[in-house]
Amino acid sequence: MISKKKALNLNLKNLSPEFVVKRFITLVIVLRIVCGLIHCFFPITMPHQWRQVDTMSVALRYFLRWSGESEFQVPWWATAVLNSQGTSGVMPMEFPFLNWVGAVGFWLADTDLDRGRIYASLLVFLINLILLRLAFREWRRCLGGFHKSYIPWAIVAGYFLSFSTPYSSKFMPDPMAMLLATWGTAAIGRLKWWGILPFALGLAMKPTVGVVCLLLILTPLSLARLRYMAVSIVAAIAPGAWWYKIMVPKIKLLQMQDDLFVIPTNFNPMTSLLEFWFALLSQALFY
């Protein structure tokens, strides 16, 4: 039998800084997941409320076009806004993978648009959680030693405990694109060819997420590995380049077929900045 004093000493030894940090991050993850799921059932809120509404409306427009707009005489993939004021509403934008996912949510809800918004939000949030898990697991396989213990947890913490935290459960392409690129980068670091696919999709959705490839400097480097990584990154850039250099100009040509109604807006940079920081500080944990 182990004495109570000895058992207490053993328990205290287990409370290493690494153990405490991981348990704290785990607690925050659970809290963020619960709050994110609850948030999906409520109306769209800040930050970037207008961006979320626009992104959701494009998803709804895809569903409407695929299900009932038989007179829509443009390709099914062309991006279009919801408030088109009698025009086709075609508008160039980022690769619409997130909008296609949202359209599935509206399809599941049939004719109930409010329920469709909830389903679309839930789908995107759950996919982001799956991608986060895949990225975490892939980076644990990719790295060893100190990096294996801390870097994957830092990636998870960066999603739930960083400047980007308020966006983690929002209907925006940024979180999904970043997670896809992070997952793909880890696979490329392991010299897996399939890592090109999620990395390329993330780049097409949001080209700025390409900065995550800098994480490859944490992996074992050699001339052969660097050559493989460089070829993989170039291959991943190709689909995004195809979308922005070839398909977007085609959408612009479609847009010229009729006049697109543009809604005038009054933009006050100072007010927007204050609203953003207030939302960032007050909603970082619970929304």
Tokens of 118: 């909830």
Threshold 0.85, pTM exceeds: no
Q: Which of 140, 141, 129, 186 is nearest to 194 (CA)?
A: 186
Going by C-beta distance under 8 Å and a sequence separation of 6 or more, which residues neighbour residue 44?
52, 53, 56, 117, 171
- The position carrying tokens 């929304």 is 287
Q: Which of 106, 71, 96, 128 is nearest to 206 (CA)?
A: 96
What pLDDT, on the 0 to 100 scale, is given for residue 112?
Answer: 84
Going by C-beta distance under 8 Å and a sequence separation of 6 or more, which residues neighbour residue 61?
80, 81, 82, 89
Tokens of 2: 């182990």
| Phi, psi (degrees; rounded to nearest 5) at 215 | -65, -15
What pLDDT, on the 0 to 100 scale, is given for residue 67?
Answer: 79
Residue 149 lies in a domain: yes
Percent of the chain with pLDDT over 90: 21
Please, are residues 128 and 179 in contact by the beta-carbon 8 Å criterion? yes
Residue 223 lies in a domain: yes
Q: What is the pLDDT of residues 233-255, one digit of tens each?
A: 999 999 999 999 999 888 888 77
Buried b / exposed e along 191-220 (16+ C-beta atoms within 10 A): eeeebbbbbbbbbbbbbebbebbebbeebe
Residue 176 lies in a domain: yes
Residue 269 lies in a domain: no
Q: Which of 185, 231, 191 is nearest to 210 (CA)?
A: 185
Residue 12 lies in a domain: no
Residue 79 lies in a domain: yes
Residue 175's CB: how many other CB atoms inside 10 A?
25
What pLDDT, on the 0 to 100 scale, is given for residue 261?
Answer: 45
**Structural domain for 112, as ranges:** 19-258
Q: How many domains does the chain divide into?
A: 1
Give 10-residue mean pLDDT values along the chain (287 residues).
51 63 77 81 75 86 78 73 70 90 90 87 91 87 64 67 62 88 90 93 90 82 86 92 90 70 44 52 50
Residue 165 lies in a domain: yes
The sign one gets for the Cα dihedral 40, 41, 44, 46 is: negative
